[in-house]
C-alpha cells in the first residue's frame, strides 16, 4: 500500500499593470545573433528557446457546433485572439481518433482526427491559418500506449500467433500471475489485466483501455516513426511526448528491484533502451525537420535530465519536470494538500536547481499549470476575490522571466481558478473517478478525498475557457461536457480585453517584454535572498544588462534583501499601479527592475 501511494504521490507530479510609468521595455536594438552568454553556454540560439508556448486543451477551448465539446473549428475561430497574446507556439492536447477513456490519451487512430473535434480538412485549415499568422503547432505524441480500440490491439488480443501479438506486452497465464506492476488509473491499481480470449494478461500502466505498446519490437518503433513523419510532412512544428521515459521495459518483467524502494514511477522511467530508442527517433525522424520536441519528464531527476536534452546526444530538445508541481502535497497521499501550504524556500530551491542543470548544456522549461494540474492561481497563488488577480499576475511574472521556455496554460492569462466540485458526480476525469473508487474500496475517508480534490484534481484545470458573459461563458451553445466556472461573468476575455489592468493585458505585456529582450531568454539567472520565506528574488544578466525580478508570494507586505543598490532602478513592469522601487513589496507584488 505504501508503495502504491508513493507512486500516486509522484503522479501528482504528473500540473497588471498598472504599467509602471516606464513600461517602455527596451527599444534599443536587439542583441547580436549570438550573444556572449549564449555562446559561452555552447548553447546557440534556437527558435524554441525564444518561444512562448501556449497550451490548449481542445475539448475545453471553443465549441463551434453546439455539442458541448470544443473542436478544431472553434480553435480556428479564435486564432486572432491567440495571435493577440504574442505567443509563438501552440501545443494541442491529443486530437486523434479516440474513444476518450482518458480524453484523447487513449488513441485508436494516430492518423485521424477525433470525430468530436472535426475532420482532417479542419486540421489542414487550422495548420494553414496558424502558419499564416506565424504561429507554430506542436502536437501531443502518445506512444507509450494506445487505446484498446486501436486496430493493432484488436488484432493482438485475437490469438497468440496474431502478427500484431508482439505489438503489446502479454504474459501467458500458465506462467502464473506476473510480478506486480502499479497502474495509474486502474480501480485496483493493478497494471496487468487478464484477457480471456488468449488466457493471458496484458500490461497497462494507465487505464485498462490504454495497453502499453511493446517498443522492444522494431515494427512498433517503425510504425511510430512513420506516423511522426506523416505529421511532420504535413508541416507540424513539433511534439510534446507523453510519458516518453516509460517506453522501454525489461520484458522479463522481474519483481520490482529493491533499489527502487517501491517507487514504480522511477522504475518505469529507467527502462533498458529508452535512450537508444530516442536516438533512433531523432536520427530517423526529427533530424530531417526543423521541429521542437519536449518530453513529459515523468520519473526523471535533475541529474538525469541532460541524458534527454543535451544537444550532443541527439535525442530531444526539452523536458518538463515534476519536482516543482509535486511540492505542497502530503507524502504518500493522493495529492492531498499539506495544510501548512508549501514552502517558498523549497520552491525557489527546486527552480534554481533546475536552472543550474541547463546552465552549460541543454535547455529548460517552466510551467505551473497544464491539463494534469489544477489552476495555478488556486494552487500557487491565492484565488480569493481580493488576491486572485494580483497573485495570478505575480505567477505569470515568474513564468515569463525564468531562463527556460515558458509553457503557459490557456485560461491562466485570464486568472481562471479551480471550480472545486462538491460532488464526485461532477467530475469527468478518469483519475478522480477511479481514485474515488479506490478510496471507497479501501474504506478511506471520501469526504476528505473530495476536499483534497478541490485543490488538486485535474478537472479544475479543464473547465471550459471563459470567452464572455453569455451562457456557458460563450464556450458552447449546448451543454458543456464539464461545468463552467461560475465566475465567468467577470473573468472572461471580453471583459478583460477592455481593461488595461486585467490579467489578460498583463500577460500580453510581459510576453512582449520577453520577446523584445533577450536578457529574459538567455540571461544568466542568479537567486538572491534564498532564505526569504516570502519573496522570490533573482537577477537576469546578459551583455551588460542586469534585470531584477521581485515576487512576493504571500498576502502580507514583505521585503527583499538583495544587497543590490536599487536607487537608480527603473521599473519595467509591475502588477500594482505604483510599483515598488525599493524592494519593499506589497502583498503578491511582482516587479521587474532594470538596474
Interface residues with ligand NOJ (CB under 6 A)? 14, 102, 105, 142, 206, 242-243, 296, 371-372
Helices (H), 336-410: 344-357, 376-380, 388-400
Least distance from ligand NOJ to the Cβ atom of residue 181, Å: 15
Nearer to ligand NOJ, 105 or 536 (CB): 105
- Share of the chain residues as helix, strand and coil, in percent rounded to the nearest 5: 35, 15, 50
CB contact at 8 A, 92 and 138: yes
- Rg (the chain; Cα; Å): 24
Least distance from ligand NOJ to the Cβ atom of residue 430, Å: 7
Nearer to ligand NOJ, 104 or 362 (CB): 104
Its sign, for the CA torsion 66, 67, 70, 74, is negative
Least distance from ligand NOJ to the Cβ atom of residue 24, Å: 39
**CA-to-CA distance for 196 and 198, rounded, in angstroms?**
6
Pairing mode of beta strands 200-203, 170-172: antiparallel
The grid coordinates of residue 418 equal: 479551480
Alpha carbon 25 to its chain centroid, in Å, reads 28
Instruction: Please indicate whether residue 242 is annotated as part of the active site.
Output: yes
Nearer to ligand NOJ, 241 or 572 (CB): 241
| Bridge partner list, 556 | none
Residue reference for cell 536599487 = 566
Q: Give the burial class of 262: count Cβ atoms within 10 A of its Cβ; 0-12 exposed, 13-18 middle, 19 or more buried.
A: middle
Give CA separation, 427 vs 94, 415, 424, 432, in Å. Answer: 20, 22, 6, 7
Least distance from ligand NOJ to the Cβ atom of residue 105, Å: 3
Instruction: Please indicate whether residue 499 is annotated as part of the active site.
Output: no
Nearer to ligand NOJ, 142 or 213 (CB): 142
Alpha carbon 411 to its chain centroid, in Å, reads 13
User: What DSSP line would sit under 254-307, residue for residue?
Assistant: PSPPGGGTT-HHHHHTT-SSHHHHHHHHHHHTGGGS--EEEEE-TT--GGGTHH
Say how many CA atoms lie within 13 Å of 180 toward its Cβ: 13
CB contact at 8 A, 98 and 108: yes
Name the catalytic one among 88, 296, 383, 439.
296
| Bridge partner list, 574 | 591
Helices (H), 442-575: 446-456, 493-498, 503-516, 519-522
Name the catalytic one among 242, 355, 459, 534.
242
Nearer to ligand NOJ, 198 or 463 (CB): 463
Least distance from ligand NOJ to the Cβ atom of residue 256, Å: 20
Least distance from ligand NOJ to the Cβ atom of residue 119, Å: 24
**CA-to-CA distance for 571 and 574, rounded, in angstroms?**
7
Q: What is the DSSP letter of 168?
A: B
The grid coordinates of residue 516 equal: 523584445
Nearer to ligand NOJ, 319 or 550 (CB): 319
The grid coordinates of residue 404 equal: 527556460
Nearer to ligand NOJ, 19 or 143 (CB): 143
**CA-to-CA distance for 270 and 577, rounded, in angstroms?**
50
Nearer to ligand NOJ, 464 or 583 (CB): 464
Least distance from ligand NOJ to the Cβ atom of residue 243, Å: 5
What SS3 class is residue 490?
Answer: coil
Pairing mode of beta strands 318-320, 365-366: unpaired
Nearer to ligand NOJ, 139 or 243 (CB): 243
Least distance from ligand NOJ to the Cβ atom of residue 296, Å: 6
Q: What is the DSSP letter of 180?
A: P
Nearer to ligand NOJ, 105 or 268 (CB): 105
Closest CA to 368 of 316, 340, 327: 327
Nearer to ligand NOJ, 296 or 355 (CB): 296
Least distance from ligand NOJ to the Cβ atom of residue 247, Å: 12
H or E, element range at 107: none
CB contact at 8 A, 464 and 480: yes
Residue nearest to ligand NOJ (CB): 105
Least distance from ligand NOJ to the Cβ atom of residue 340, Å: 28
3-state secondary structure 332-346: CCCCCECCCCCCHHH
Least distance from ligand NOJ to the Cβ atom of residue 572, Å: 34
What SS3 class is residue 397?
Answer: helix
CB contact at 8 A, 134 and 167: no
Give the residue numbers marked as catalytic.
242, 296
Amino acid at each position: 500500500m505504501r508503495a502504491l501511494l508513493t507512486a500516486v504521490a509522484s503522479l501528482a507530479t504528473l500540473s497588471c499593470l498598472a504599467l509602471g510609468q516606464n513600461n517602455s521595455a527596451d527599444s534599443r536594438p536587439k542583441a547580436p545573433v549570438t550573444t556572449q552568454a549564449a555562446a559561452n553556454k555552447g548553447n546557440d540560439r534556437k527558435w524554441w528557446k525564444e518561444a512562448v508556448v501556449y497550451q490548449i486543451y481542445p475539448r475545453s477551448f471553443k465549441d463551434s457546433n453546439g455539442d458541448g465539446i470544443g473542436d478544431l473549428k472553434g480553435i480556428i475561430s479564435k486564432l486572432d485572439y491567440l495571435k493577440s497574446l504574442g505567443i509563438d507556439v501552440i501545443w494541442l492536447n491529443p486530437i486523434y481518433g479516440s474513444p476518450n477513456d482518458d480524453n484523447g490519451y487513449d488513441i485508436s487512430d494516430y492518423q485521424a482526427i477525433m470525430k468530436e473535434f472535426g475532420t482532417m480538412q479542419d486540421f489542414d485549415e487550422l495548420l494553414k491559418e496558424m502558419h499564416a499568422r506565424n504561429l507554430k503547432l506542436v502536437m501531443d505524441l502518445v506512444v507509450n500506449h494506445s487505446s484498446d480500440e486501436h486496430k493493432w490491439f484488436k488484432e493482438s488480443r485475437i490469438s497468440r500467433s496474431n502478427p500484431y501479438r508482439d505489438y503489446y506486452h502479454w504474459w501467458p497465464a500458465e506462467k502464473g500471475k506476473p510480478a506486480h506492476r502499479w497502474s495509474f488509473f486502474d480501480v485496483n491499481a493493478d497494471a496487468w489485466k487478464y484477457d480471456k480470449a488468449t488466457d493471458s494478461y496484458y500490461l497497462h500502466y494507465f487505464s485498462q483501455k490504454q495497453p502499453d505498446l511493446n517498443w522492444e519490437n522494431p515494427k512498433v518503433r517503425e510504425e511510430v516513426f512513420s506516423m511522426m513523419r506523416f505529421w511532420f510532412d504535413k508541416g507540424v512544428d513539433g511534439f510534446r511526448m507523453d510519458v516518453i521515459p516509460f517506453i522501454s521495459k525489461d520484458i522479463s518483467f522481474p519483481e520490482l528491484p529493491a533499489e527502487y524502494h517501491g517507487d514504480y514511477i522511477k522504475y518505469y522511467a529507467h527502462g533498458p533502451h529508452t535512450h537508444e530508442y530516442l536516438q533512433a527517433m531523432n536520427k530517423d525522424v526529427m533530424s530531417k525537420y526543423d521541429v521542437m520536441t519536449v518530453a513529459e519528464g515523468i520519473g526523471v531527476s535533475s541529474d538525469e535530465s541532460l541524458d534527454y536534452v543535451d544537444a550532443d546526444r541527439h535525442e530531444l530538445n526539452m523536458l518538463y519536470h515534476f519536482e516543482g508541481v509535486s511540492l505542497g502535497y502530503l507524502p504518500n497521499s493522493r495529492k492531498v494538500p499539506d495544510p501548512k501550504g508549501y514552502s517558498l524556500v523549497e520552491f525557489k530551491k527546486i527552480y534554481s536547481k533546475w536552472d543550474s542543470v541547463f546552465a552549460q548544456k541543454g535547455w529548460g522549461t517552466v510551467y505551473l499549470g497544464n491539463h494534469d494540474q489544477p489552476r495555478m492561481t488556486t494552487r500557487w497563488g491565492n484565488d480569493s476575490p481580493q488576491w486572485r488577480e494580483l497573485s495570478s499576475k505575480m505567477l505569470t511574472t515568474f513564468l515569463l522571466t525564468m531562463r527556460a521556455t515558458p509553457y503557459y496554460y490557456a485560461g491562466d492569462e485570464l486568472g481562471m481558478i479551480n471550480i472545486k466540485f462538491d460532488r464526485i458526480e461532477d467530475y469527468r476525469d478518469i483519475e478522480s473517478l477511479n481514485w474515488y473508487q479506490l478510496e471507497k474500496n479501501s474504506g478511506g475517508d471520501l469526504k476528505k478525498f473530495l476536499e483534497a480534490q478541490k485543490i488538486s484534481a485535474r478537472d479544475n484545470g479543464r473547465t471550459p475557457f471563459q470567452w464572455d458573459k453569455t451562457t456557458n461563458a460563450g464556450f458552447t451553445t449546448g451543454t458543456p461536457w464539464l461545468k463552467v466556472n461560475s465566475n465567468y461573468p467577470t473573468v472572461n476575455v471580453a471583459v478583460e480585453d477592455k481593461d488595461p489592468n486585467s490579467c489578460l493585458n498583463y500577460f500580453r505585456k510581459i510576453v512582449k517584454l520577453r520577446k523584445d529582450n533577450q536578457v529574459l531568454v538567455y540571461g544568466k539567472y542568479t537567486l538572491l535572498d534564498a532564505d526569504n520565506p516570502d519573496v522570490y528574488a533573482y537577477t537576469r544578466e546578459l551583455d551588460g544588462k542586469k534585470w531584477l525580478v521581485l515576487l512576493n508570494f504571500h498576502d502580507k507586505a514583505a521585503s527583499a534583501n538583495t544587497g543590490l543598490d536599487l536607487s537608480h532602478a527603473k521599473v519595467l513592469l509591475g502588477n500594482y499601479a505604483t510599483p515598488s522601487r525599493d524592494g519593499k513589496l506589497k502583498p503578491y507584488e511582482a516587479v521587474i527592475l532594470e538596474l
